[in-house]
């Protein structure tokens, strides 16, 4: 199954060595943003290369048009796709995010990528919000992340995208707003 038939590419993710410099680049040079900072994200049921994993990470999410830019910072040395990326000396796009059309499509999309030669390297979820799996596809990087999002989480992403339209460059790094702000 072609990746394009699974869902929409909505995200480019980076694991920068210098988080602040990357944020400056995306907001001041490119003009993407604002970015919403999620600190020490609690991930549930995370597995890295088949083994249970507990990764301490933060992320900043912003939009450049309809594409979400994700900047990821890992705070510990736990085994993960982010740690391995930096240890290998890599730069650039670490993964692309593909949002599935239906939350319940996750298992079939996972199976399809596996059948097509993808190696699932990390899987995780945020209970009642998202499920995600990262695949190393045949060939080169980037990894492919498939994302199943609950409707309320899609609303949060839409709120972030809407705030980027005509953004004036002020307050480039923001806290994620309370749900009553974006769950309209």
50-148-99 Cα angle (round to 5):
110
Q: What is the pLDDT of residues 75-132, one digit of tens each?
A: 999 999 999 999 999 989 999 999 998 888 999 999 999 999 999 999 998 877 889 9
DSSP classification of residue 103: G
Residue 44's DSSP bridge partners are 125
What are the structural domains of the chain?
Answer: 3-169+178-182 (3.10.180.10)
Alpha helices in 25-165 (DSSP H): 81-87, 106-115, 151-164
C-beta of residue 110 within 8 angstroms of C-beta of residue 116: no
Single pTM value for the model? 0.93
């Amino acid at each position: 199954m072609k990746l394009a038939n699974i869902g929409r590419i909505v995200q480019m993710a980076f694991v920068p060595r210098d988080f602040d410099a990357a944020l400056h680049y995306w907001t001041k040079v490119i003009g993407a943003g604002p970015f919403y900072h999620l600190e020490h994200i609690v991930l549930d049921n995370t597995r890295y290369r088949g083994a249970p994993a507990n990764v301490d990470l933060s992320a900043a999410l912003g939009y450049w048009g309809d594409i979400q830019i994700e900047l990821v910072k890992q705070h510990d040395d736990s085994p993960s796709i982010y740690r391995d990326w930096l240890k290998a000396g890599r730069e650039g796009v670490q993964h692309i995010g593909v949002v599935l059309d239906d939350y319940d499509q996750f298992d079939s999309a996972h199976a399809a990528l596996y059948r097509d030669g993808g190696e699932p390297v990390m899987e995780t979820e945020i209970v009642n919000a998202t499920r995600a799996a990262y695949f190393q596809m045949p060939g080169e990087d980037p990894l492919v992340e498939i994302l199943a999002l609950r409707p309320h989480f899609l609303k949060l992403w839409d709120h972030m995208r809407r705030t980027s339209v005509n953004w004036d460059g002020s307050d480039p790094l923001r806290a994620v707003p309370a749900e009553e702000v974006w769950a309209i």
